[in-house]
Structure 1
Amino acid sequence: MDAIEEAGPFFHGTKAQLVAGDLLSAGFRSNYRPEIVMNHIYFTAMLSGAGLAAELAAGDGEPRVYRVEPTGDFENDPNVTDKKFPGNPTRSYRSSAPLRVVDEIIEWPRLTPEALQEWRDRLAALRADGLDEIIN
């Protein structure tokens, strides 16, 4: 992995209930393509991006955002930077090493129900068009 200069803070959105010290790791099914087992754990330096990931995550739990710290090397998320946004303006990253949960972020930008449905519709359209390889 290329060295990244980003210092954080970093965030991860999920529906899992976690506590400080828990580790998030690769090896689980994708929130967006459940037939895929992930080789990386994904995170962002943008609170709103983690919030979106939390809202769209699989499962019935409450969307949650955590401040996390990488335990190893990480790189720009090529699913976003190479395919959609060169230069990584979304400040999205991935690592094969675990992320350590620092704390839960209680207040974060929430989507309106309408905006959330628009995102779900976009993801469904990508899947229907066979373009869902660009999403994790």
Structure 2
Amino acid sequence: MTRPQDDGPFFHGTKADLRIGDLLTAGFPSNYRPEIVMNHIYFTATRDGAGLAAELAPGDAEPRVYEVEPTGEFEDDPNVTDKKFPGNPTRSYRSSAPLRVVGEVTDWTRLTPEALQEWRDRLAAIRADERAEIIN
């Protein structure tokens, strides 16, 4: 695993109520294909990207964005980099090592209900397409 040239700060979106110092780990179902248990924890260097992930996370809790710091090596997220976009324009990453929560972020842009529904519709189409894969 090669470390990208991004120094952060880094963010993770979720519906979990976390505290400073908590560790986020791999080993949970994918938000996008829940039948897949993920080998990595995902994060981004963009607040709004983490906010999108938080809003799309399963559950009824309030979406939250946390600033996190990787505790080990990390790499570009291959699900959104060269496989789909040249380079890493979304500044998305993954790690098999935990992420440490360093604080909660409240100044991220929320999606409109219409935009959120569009994203949910896209995810439903991805889930229905057996050719759509997640690089785990």
* TM bin (shorter chain): over 0.9
User: Are residues 1:64 and 2:61 paired?
Assistant: no
TM-score, structure 1 normalization: 0.95
CA contact (8 A) 2:78 2:135 kept: no
**Percentage of identical aligned residues:** 79
Q: 3-state DSSP class of the match of 1:78? A: coil
List gaps (5 residues or longer) in structure 1: none
User: Are residues 1:93 and 2:89 paired?
Assistant: no
How many pairs were matched up?
136
Change (3 A) 1:29 1:134: closer
18-27 or 126-135, which moves further after superposition?
126-135
CA contact (8 A) 2:11 2:47 kept: yes
Q: 3-state DSSP class of the match of 1:37? A: coil
Q: After TM superposition, list the pairs within 5 Å mapping 1:1-136 onto structure 2.
A: 1-134=1-134
Tell me the distance in 2 between the aligned counterparts of 1:107 and 1:3.
28
Q: 3-state DSSP class of the match of 2:93? A: strand
TM-score, structure 2 normalization: 0.95
Query: 1:130 offset after TM fit, Å?
Result: 2.3
List gaps (5 residues or longer) in structure 2: none
Tell me the distance in 2 between the aligned counterparts of 1:110 and 1:39.
28
Query: 1:129 offset after TM fit, Å?
Result: 2.6
Q: 3-state DSSP class of the match of 2:28? A: coil
CA contact (8 A) 2:31 2:56 kept: yes
Please tell me the residue identity of whatever aligns with 2:62: E
Q: 3-state DSSP class of the match of 2:80? A: helix
Tell me the distance in 1 between the aligned counterparts of 2:92 and 2:114.
24
Q: Which structure shows the bigger proportion of residues in helix conformation?
A: 1
Query: 1:18 offset after TM fit, Å?
Result: 0.1
66-75 or 122-131, which moves further after superposition?
122-131
